[in-house]
Each structure stands twice: as C-alpha cells, then as structure tokens.
Amino acid sequence: MNKIKLWLGVFLCLSLLLNVLFLIHFASRQSTSEGKENSVEEHEIDKAYSEAMKGWTGTTVEGIEISTTYALLWKEEATKYYDLLYDELDDDKKALLVSSQEKWENFFIENELLEKEISRRAFGNGSMRREFNASIPLYKYRERALELQSLYEMVTYAM
C-alpha cells in the first residue's frame, strides 16, 4: 500500500512538472502582432487550456481528454491559418506552402513515433506514458498554428 502511495505521489509530481515545464517553455516565447509584443499565453486556446488544467483532477483519462481536446483546437487553428495564407499567395508560393505542409506532416508523424518510443523507455507502459503521448499532438499543432499565423500576418501586413 505504501508503494502505491509513493508511486502515485511520484506520478502526480511528474505530471505537474511536465505541465509547469510546458507553460514555462511556451510563456517564454513571444509573438509579435502589429508591432506590439504579446505573451503566447494570451492566445484564447492557451487561456482555455490553462483553465482546463486548473480543473484537472489528475486522472489519466481526464488528462488525455484535455490534451486531445486542445490538440484538435490547435489543429483547427493551424488549418485556418494554412487556408488563409494559401489564399494570399500567388501560384508558385502556393506550391511552396503545400510542399512545406507535406514536409511538416511527415516530420510530425516521424517525430511523434520517436517521442512515443522515448516515452516508452522513460515511463514503461504506465499511465504517465499515455498522458505524455496524448500531449505530443497538442504541442506540435500549437507550434504549427502559431507559425502559420505568423506567416499569414507577415504576408498580410506587407500588402
């Protein structure tokens, strides 16, 4: 029974540490919009994610659901900015964007496989691994969405 309590405590500490590291990492990155610096934390999806994490009870299923929900929101955001950017480009630049997106998708798949293998070695088959694996798409789609948004803002600002 004491071992179970110990492992539960370790698990909760590691979960909190991963979430804190995520927030520190992304809060430290800045985006620029219309010449004014804004913290990445100001994005509406980030705010909603932070609120969801505050209400997280610590269960694996709930953690996976939160990561999956916000990964889908970031995927939609990336698609939105991809489409907006695509519409602003001439044909030769559109081809570059399509190629870039295809390469990013291949990278996403390969990198996700690598990260899942690393998490298998780090966490075994425990619930911590399942939560970590569920968070991979969240971070990747978030990063791509912000990148596409930035490119779109540069293109439309220059016009």
Domain ranges of the chain: 2-158
Q: Which amino acid is at 29?
A: R
Digit-coded pLDDT (tens) for 12-66? 444 544 454 454 444 444 344 444 444 444 899 999 999 999 999 989 999 999 9
Q: Which two tokens stand for residue 130?
A: 């399942």
Predicted structure pTM score? 0.72
Residues whose CB falls within 8 Å of the CB of residue 150, separated by 6 or more in sequence, listed in order: 31
Radius of gyration of the chain (CA): 18
36: alpha, beta or left, given left = phi > 0 and alpha = psi -120 to 50?
beta
